[in-house]
Amino acid sequence: MTEVDVVIMAAGKGTRMKSRKPKVLHQLAGRALLRHVVDTVASLQVRSQVVVVGHGADEVERALAQPSSVDQALRFVRQEPQLGTGHAVQQAAPLLPDDGISLILNGDVPLIEAATLRELVRSAQAAGGLALLTVTMPDPSGYGRILRGRSPHDAADDGRVLGIVEHQDATAEQRLIQEIYTGVMALPTPWLKRWLARLSPSNAQGEYYLTDIVAFAVADGVPVGACRVQDTVQVDGVNDPAQLAALERAYQRRYAAGLMAQGVRLADPARLDVRGSLLCAADVEIDVNCVFEGQVSLGEGVHIGPHCVIADATVQAGAVIHAFSHIQGSAGEPVQVGTNARIGPFARLRPGTQLGPDVHVGNFVEIKNTSMGRGAKANHLAYLGDAQVGEDVNYGAGSITANYDGTNKHRTVIEAGAHIGSNCVLIAPLTVGAGATVGGGSTLTKNVPAGSLTVARAKQLSLPNWKRPAKKR
């Protein structure tokens, strides 16, 4: 197989987005449009990727420099000023080796599939010529039309591709053509370089059209083929916020369909958002309006209630996440929820939370960088930060670990079987021994011995016949 080198055009300003952000950095399903394209190309195991940047070039290059699944090193070239698609590829041409196939893509077409690109490349390799990706659209307005007819090198009119005419330059008759060029092509690099040198801005836009190379190929007797894609979503670009929103829903519908094909029960597939990767075991149920971000794994029989947000987390078998809970892990500190745990409603689990089996975390409880052993409970209105909580601990309503002294964080250890009463403040660093009981309303600054009852609060005092101060008139 001939080596493949990819050129991704990402220099446009995207005026219709009405945003200061470069168009290719707008997000779809939690990733930049351009990142979708780059990651798809990476799965093809190509030799190189060259990204043509222009508007917001520094910002685009910084965004792609962040770690990702891409194995190949990206290279960038700048198109300044932007003088059309042909001019964009001209900037990349010096970086393309002469012994390969060039695959030309657009950075604002995020849902193109790897299988489609493989087929296009195979077509170019087999014919030794130019392969175009086309699609038929009921309303092709704004797109370049595929011109077919009799080849000048063959007397038969077999509907061969003869050229592409841009919408602005098309006649009224040509504008009736519904087969359009998607902006994706593959061809031997030596031919690409030869034809790029012949481009001219003699058109309505005064730009260098990459599509002009089709007519050059026909004139030179080089085979031109068209691979038609049936799924238009693959080749839909983003030019304005409405198109971005439409592609977002298309992506989510596709993802939801894949989950349901695996057996996941979605209460409403139209009300699911996956902005990363969601892995589900058997008998997972997900209610409406849930958002999954980063890397999320749901074990067998997990139930996710409505309106939950779950990011970078593993939820093990049998766990239930009740409504309106927010599990907020991170790539470096994912959240772990143990088997048969019960979370929420209205709970918040932050990075570094590690919950064991049968743990209960109730409404308006926040947990950060804390482990909880089997059967531990924090059921109401509580905060646990930088803590180690043992098995079967009961953590009372309104209690908090005071883990920050204004400069440093400190840890609290609550050993197995301890009972923390309501409205307590545990000022770290602190250890509550196994089986100890802390009386409600206590503020602790010292370690609590195992098996003891500890109360640290002011003595209750009542003053009879006390009158409140009266306002001066």
Residue pair 370/389 in contact by the 8 Å Cβ criterion: yes
Please confirm, yes or no, whether 380 is among the known catalytic residues. yes
Angle between helices 33-42 and 114-127 (to 10 degrees): 60
Residue pair 364/344 in contact by the 8 Å Cβ criterion: no
Q: Are strands 179-188 and 309-315 parallel, antiparallel or unpaired?
A: unpaired
**Residue 242's CB: how many other CB atoms inside 10 A?**
10
Compute and round to an integer the Cα radius of gyration of the chain: 31
Catalytic residue among 55, 87, 322, 380: 380
340 residue type, one letter: N
Cα angle 317, 320, 325; round to 5: 130
* Rounded distance between C-alpha atoms, residue 138 and residue 146, angstroms: 14
Residue pair 196/93 in contact by the 8 Å Cβ criterion: yes
Torsion angle (degrees, nearest 10) of CA 211, 212, 214, 219: 180
349 residue type, one letter: L
* Rounded distance between C-alpha atoms, residue 79 and residue 85, angstroms: 10
Angle between helices 85-92 and 189-196 (to 10 degrees): 120
**Residue 345's CB: how many other CB atoms inside 10 A?**
16
Residue pair 30/275 in contact by the 8 Å Cβ criterion: yes
Q: Which residues have a catalytic role annotated?
A: 380
